[in-house]
């Protein structure tokens, strides 16, 4: 699903966010991207949905070379990628239903499809009963579920989450992570950038750790700080 | 037709328009002031043009034949004149009719019965379709065999043509300048509304809306502001017209106030809509590229 080959990313100010990174993520995988703030996690996600282009190397998503896309094709690409952020990015003056429908409507979707897909996405995240409420009337966890519904409404093959639980308390965090697992079980590839060690260590999925723009370790069923889990916390 | 899609689009335009009401009022006001000036000027321009064209359409070319010109030659000339597509009408004025007309023009003070011979030549009176062709057609006829000379009010034609032409040019420049100024002000206003909606735009881009689709509501909004401004201006102009034109018409009795007001109103609306659309396109475009 995702393939990065020799990818480097240097900002205009000379800071090297990614340094010759190779990474393969299979279809249907669930992957944590971990590391301190500023180690290039968000930048890596941005390369995938073409918010940024690499200074060197190639980025492939679902067989498409993303770094070479024209502006028009970028729009097409993003309809196949759902993105979720720490700050939800919901529109305050629109209801839950309208926020989710918005993602379809602005791509020119037919009303018939909107009416069919929005309830399905809201059901998936368990917000169908609050579809007429505004974001300000929801809890943080519910707002994030609304954002996830919006990311899912296009039936994307890939869901990217940038610190999805960064603004949430532990119980809401658990809820959101369980939701992401369920989405993954339905076949969507999920990549979660986080520095929530508890979540990563509990879930034991593939963990890719970035440090100073390089991949420090990459383990199946890994821990936040590497293969040995908690013991690394003490020394790391 | 997918009514839901249309409803969504119009809903977006409407809510955004009313949400930024204060800024839209600025834009509408700018367009209105611009178009009041433009409309007043265009009215004057059209009036002068209609006066000018009215006078010009009465200009005749007098084609005088030589005394030696035979009937056959004169028939050939008549045929050539009739065949020329630039010529609207041809009238043959034989010398005795010419004398009678002269008598009518100069009146009793000049007694033509005192003349022993008729000094006037036979002539054709020619009118052309387009006033700016008077000189060319006259020069063309001048070369016909049997034609002594052609004559027309050269000075009047030249001056009138120049006035109409200059006014048309000034009109174009004015439209350009006013549209440019208004577009800048409106572009700034719209830039503020774009900025106020940067979250929507970011989300639209994120979920894969095309730039064209992101632009459209803004352009519709700009157009709406432009047309509303133009409508307001037309209202002001209409009231001014009711007050001012009858008085002017009284003072300048000889001026025919024949302006195509429907056309003028359409022109103003079109300029308003264009200003709104262009400025919206520019201000959103800058944002999308950034």
Predicted confidence (pLDDT) per residue in B157-176, tens digit? 778 778 878 888 887 888 78
Least CB-CB distance to B207: which of A72, A103, A115?
A103
Give residues 178 to 217 of B whose Cβ lies within 8 Å of A. Answer: 199-200, 202-211, 213-214
pLDDT confidence of A99, banded at 50, 70, 90?
very high
Would the CB atoms of B4 and A114 count as touching at under 8 Å?
Answer: yes
Q: What is the pLDDT of residues B166-205, one digit of tens each?
A: 888 887 888 788 878 878 877 887 788 888 888 888 888 8
CA of A227, closest CA in chain B: separation in Å?
35
Would the CB atoms of A106 and B4 count as touching at under 8 Å?
Answer: no
Distance CA(B277)–CA(B183), nearest Å, equals 9
Contact status of B290 with chain A (Cβ, < 8 Å): no
Q: Looking at per-residue confidence, does B139 or A133 come out higher?
A: A133
Question: Helix B211-251 to helix B261-289 angle, to the nearest 10 degrees?
Answer: 150
Residue with tokens 């009041």: B36
Give residues 57 to 116 of B whose Cβ lies within 8 Å of A. Answer: none
Nearest to B226 by CA among B273, B268, B188: B273
CA of A218, closest CA in chain B: separation in Å?
29
Nearest to A1 by CA among A84, A83, A52, A59: A59
CB atoms within 10 A of CB A68: 11
Distance CA(B222)–CA(A4), nearest Å, equals 43
Contact status of A146 with chain B (Cβ, < 8 Å): no
CA of A159, closest CA in chain B: separation in Å?
12
Q: What is the pLDDT of residues A112-133, one digit of tens each?
A: 999 999 999 999 999 999 999 9
Would the CB atoms of A75 and B5 count as touching at under 8 Å?
Answer: no
Mean pLDDT of chain A: 90
Residue with tokens 């050939």: B76
Task: Name the pTM for this structure.
Answer: 0.72
Q: Provide the pLDDT for residue A34.
A: 93
Would the CB atoms of A83 and B206 count as touching at under 8 Å?
Answer: yes
Determine contact, residues B134/B156, Cβ cutoff 8 Å. no
Q: What tokens appear for A161 in the block?
A: 């989450």
Least CB-CB distance to A107: which of B3, B207, B211?
B207
Give me the helices (H) in chain A, please. 41-48, 71-78, 96-105, 111-125, 140-152, 170-185, 197-203, 230-235
């Amino acid at each position: 699903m995702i393939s990065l080959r020799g990818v480097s990313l240097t900002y205009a100010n000379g800071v090297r966010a990614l340094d010759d990174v190779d990474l393969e993520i299979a279809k249907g995988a669930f992957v944590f991207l971990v590391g301190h703030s500023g180690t290039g996690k968000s930048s890596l996600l941005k390369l995938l949905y073409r918010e940024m282009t690499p200074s060197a190397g190639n980025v492939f998503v679902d067989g498409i070379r993303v770094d070479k896309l024209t502006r028009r094709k970028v729009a097409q690409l993003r309809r196949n990628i759902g993105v979720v952020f720490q700050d939800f990015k919901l529109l305050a003056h629109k209801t839950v239903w309208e926020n989710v429908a918005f993602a379809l409507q602005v791509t020119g979707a037919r009303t018939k499809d909107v009416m069919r897909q929005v309830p399905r996405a809201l059901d998936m995240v368990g917000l169908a009963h609050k579809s007429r409420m505004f974001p300000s009337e929801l809890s943080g966890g519910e707002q994030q579920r609304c954002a996830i519904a919006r990311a899912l409404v296009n039936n994307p093959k890939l869901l990217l989450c940038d610190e999805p639980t960064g603004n949430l308390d532990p119980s809401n965090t658990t809820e959101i992570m369980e939701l992401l697992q369920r989405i993954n079980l339905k076949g969507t590839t999920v990549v979660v950038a986080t520095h929530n060690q508890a979540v990563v260590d509990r879930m034991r999925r593939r963990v890719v750790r970035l440090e100073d723009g390089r991949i420090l370790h990459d383990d199946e069923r890994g821990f936040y700080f590497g293969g040995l889990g908690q013991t690394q916390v003490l020394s790391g | 037709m997918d009514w839901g899609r249309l409803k969504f689009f119009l809903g977006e335009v409407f809510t955004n328009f009313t949400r930024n009401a204060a800024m839209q009022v600025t834009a509408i006001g700018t367009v209105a002031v611009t178009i009041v000036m433009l409309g007043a000027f265009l009215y004057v321009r059209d009036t002068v043009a209609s006066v000018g064209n009215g006078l010009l359409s009465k200009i005749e070319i007098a084609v005088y034949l030589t005394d030696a010109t035979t009937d056959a030659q004169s028939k050939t000339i008549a045929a050539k004149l009739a065949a020329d597509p630039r010529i609207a009408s041809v009238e043959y004025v034989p010398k005795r009719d010419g004398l009678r007309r002269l008598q009518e023009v100069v009146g009793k003070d000049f007694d033509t019965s005192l003349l022993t011979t008729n000094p006037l030549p036979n002539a054709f009176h020619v009118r052309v379709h387009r006033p700016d062709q008077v000189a060319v057609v006259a020069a063309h006829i001048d070369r016909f065999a049997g034609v002594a000379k052609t004559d027309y009010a050269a000075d009047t034609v030249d001056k009138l043509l120049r006035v109409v032409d200059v006014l048309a040019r000034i009109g174009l420049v004015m439209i350009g300048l006013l549209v440019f100024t208004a577009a800048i002000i409106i572009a700034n206003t719209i830039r503020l509304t774009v900025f106020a909606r940067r979250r929507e735009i970011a989300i639209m881009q994120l979920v894969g809306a095309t730039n064209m689709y992101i632009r459209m509501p803004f352009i519709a909004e700009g157009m709406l502001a432009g047309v509303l401004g133009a409508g307001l201006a037309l209202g002001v102009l209409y009231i001014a017209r009711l007050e001012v034109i009858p008085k002017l018409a009284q003072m300048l009795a000889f001026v025919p106030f024949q302006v195509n007001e429907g056309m003028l109103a359409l022109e103003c609306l079109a300029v308003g809509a264009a200003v709104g659309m262009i400025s919206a396109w520019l201000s959103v475009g800058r944002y999308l590229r950034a």
